[in-house]
Chains A and B, each alone.
Chain A
Amino acid sequence: MTINLGSETPVTESIQPKTSYTSLRKTMWLEIKNDKMALISLILLIAILLTVYIGSLLLNLEKITRIDVFNIYAEPSAVHWLGTDYGGRDVFGVLLIGAKNSITIGVVITLISGIIGLTVGLIAGYFGGLVDNVIMRIIDFIIILPFLMIIIVLITVVPVFNVYTFIAILSIFLWTGKARLIRSKTLAERELDYVNASKTLGTPNWKIMMFEVLPNLSSIIIVNLTLTLAGNIGIETGLTYLGFGLPESVPSLGTLVAYASNPEVIENRWWVWLPASLLILVIMLCINFIGQALKRAADARQRLT
């Protein structure tokens, strides 16, 4: 991470017109390519995603979730690569399905909360004034709330609890950070000449927001979505670990980790909970390393290349 804020930096450099234009996609790729950790993370993440999504297609779901009382807590072997759990189910199979569910739900939550945060942030930042004031007070309030406790209470209170309500409840609380970020960037953007010029030409506000301001924020949005995706997978698996996440019929990586709350399992049956824990760790680290590289790409001052 190079931050060069030296006042000695010659000013003339930035004034000179750029001869070649590098697209955002190319800059991002260059930044990942030149950061060994990010490149390894990207390759590893793609490998995990391919294994998880293709693997769970090939697996026989019924065979994995079937309870086999003769094979309870079998140690890892050629048949069961990661042994079996308390119901004799193959841990490797549950791990694949769990990873698939965790990643998919993490992505869906990130997208939904991203869309909410983006819309609210754009509106608050673009219009400013009273609208901005009211929205920001609401966001300040939601951010202070002990959201983990309230989410757990909501999950126990909702009449029908399934994957969809789980996603909805999490999305209600997780958009605020994004909205705040987008709002502050939009506030700076709307002062620029191109927005004023468009307004003078009579372009409707929504068009300016959607087609002019939004594209200029795309790099920040991509970075933010990547970094929060990791966080959201953490929150989902964490809640499932506590027993307030996905139901056991829809296993998540947290479901496997949760077996560790039994002292017997954590001490002597490492194959049940440790692989899932490490997989969560690896997925979150990979996404973060990629996110950090994208962050540098989005901010010209920090670029390595």
Chain B
Amino acid sequence: MLKFIFRRTLIMIPQIFILSVLIFLLAKAMPGDALTGQLGSGDVDPERIEELREKAGLNDPWHIQYGRWIGNVVQGDFGKSSVYQQKVTNLIGDRVGNTLLLSASILIVSYLIAIPLGIIAGRWTHSWADKMIVGYNYLSFATPLFVFALIMLFIFGFMLQWFPIGGSVDIRADKGTLEYVISKARHLFLPTMAGALLATFSTIQYLRNEIIDTKIKDFVKTARAKGVPESKVYTHHILRNSLLPIAAFLGYEITGLIGGSIFLESIFSYPGLGQLFLSSISSRDFSVVTILVLISGIAAIVGTMLSDIILSWIDPRIRID
């Protein structure tokens, strides 16, 4: 096991390295460079810009520039945004909480929906409940997130006006009061539901198949033959094996959550990293864009690694040697 963890962690190092080189090269291809963010609008003298470029090392070969850039990033210096005229760290810090909150609530709600439905569908196969759940699953798999989120916003935000149409909290609410928490939850509700209702597919599918496969296995038959009540057969014998991996799939969801947050935050004008990414790209604020892609990529790589390790710990069959 330790050997596996060690090997799996080692694979991550070249992955992160290649990712950072790729992003650096993309950043080089973007119009403007780190200097653009530091220049005021008055500095247009080409000679002076050239001097500054030389001083900032922007005329060095690319691998030296890459080394300097990655060195700064590792030390937590993400550069400066040219649009907001503040440190990228501060910009991200203001919004990362919102995105984490949204992603966490999507994950929790989707599990709250998917786990009971998966169990029902697997336990009572071919019942009308199973047919409904499988039908819902097909629908959720086929529905594009942005269309679904827009229609939710149109119905519950504009027509019925049950929920706010944008933002993450009412600006009049004071931090720390109950009102603030309620307002935050109300703003969170629509994007969470839009994301969660479409994120249940893989969990339901997995649980249903697992239970159908497991419930005819010999150890389950033995338990039944010994007179274990049916409900206990499920809780103690079948689900014990099937539920564990679901928790481990968490890390694989990160790439999907990042993609989803871009759509959800843009549709519900929710001030998070996805929205920051879109607005930075539109305003050509590339120092912000670069860091956001890098952070998302590293989050996905680390998440996948954790999932791999947890899964192989739970289920020794998938350990690679």
Contact = CB atoms under 8 A, between A and B. Distances in A.
B19 A145 contact: yes
Interface in B132-189: 134, 138-139, 141-147, 150-151, 153-154, 158, 165
19 contacts: A3-B209, A141-B15, A144-B300, A146-B300, A147-B255, A149-B277, A149-B292, A153-B30, A154-B26, A157-B26, A237-B144, A241-B263, A257-B146, A260-B150, A260-B154, A263-B165, A270-B154, A274-B154, A284-B142
B281 interface: yes
A289 interface: yes
Contacts of A289: 138, 142
Nearest to B221: A7
Nearest to A235: B144
Contacts of B30: 153, 156-157
Interface of B: 11, 15, 18-19, 26, 29-30, 126, 134, 138-139, 141-147, 150-151, 153-154, 158, 165, 209, 212-213, 216, 255, 258-259, 262-263, 266-267, 277-278, 281-282, 284, 289, 292-293, 296-297, 300-301, 304
A150 interface: yes
B258 A148 contact: yes
Interface residues of A, number: 47
Contacts of A156: 30, 281, 284
Contacts of A257: 146-147, 150
A153 B18 contact: no
A40 B193 CA distance: 29
Given A145-B19, A146-B255, A237-B144, 5 more contacts: A152-B278, A261-B267, A263-B158, A266-B153, A289-B142
A3 B212 contact: yes
Interface string A139-170: 00101111111101110110000000000000
A149 B15 contact: no
B162 to A, nearest CB: 15
Interface of A: 1-3, 5-7, 137, 141, 143-150, 152-154, 156-157, 230, 234, 237-238, 241-244, 257, 260-261, 263, 266-267, 270, 273-274, 277, 280-281, 284-285, 287-289, 292
B26 A153 contact: yes
Contacts, number: 118
Given A149-B293, A284-B142, A284-B144, A5 B281 contact: no
Contacts of A274: 151, 154
A153 B145 contact: no
Nearest to B148: A281
Contacts of B259: 146-149
B112 to A, nearest CB: 24
Given A144-B301, A149-B277, A260-B150, A285 B143 contact: yes
Nearest to A151: B259
Contacts of B143: 281, 284-285
B262 to A, nearest CB: 6
B128 to A, nearest CB: 15
Contacts of B212: 3, 5
B144 A149 contact: no
Given A1-B134, A277-B151, A242 B266 contact: yes
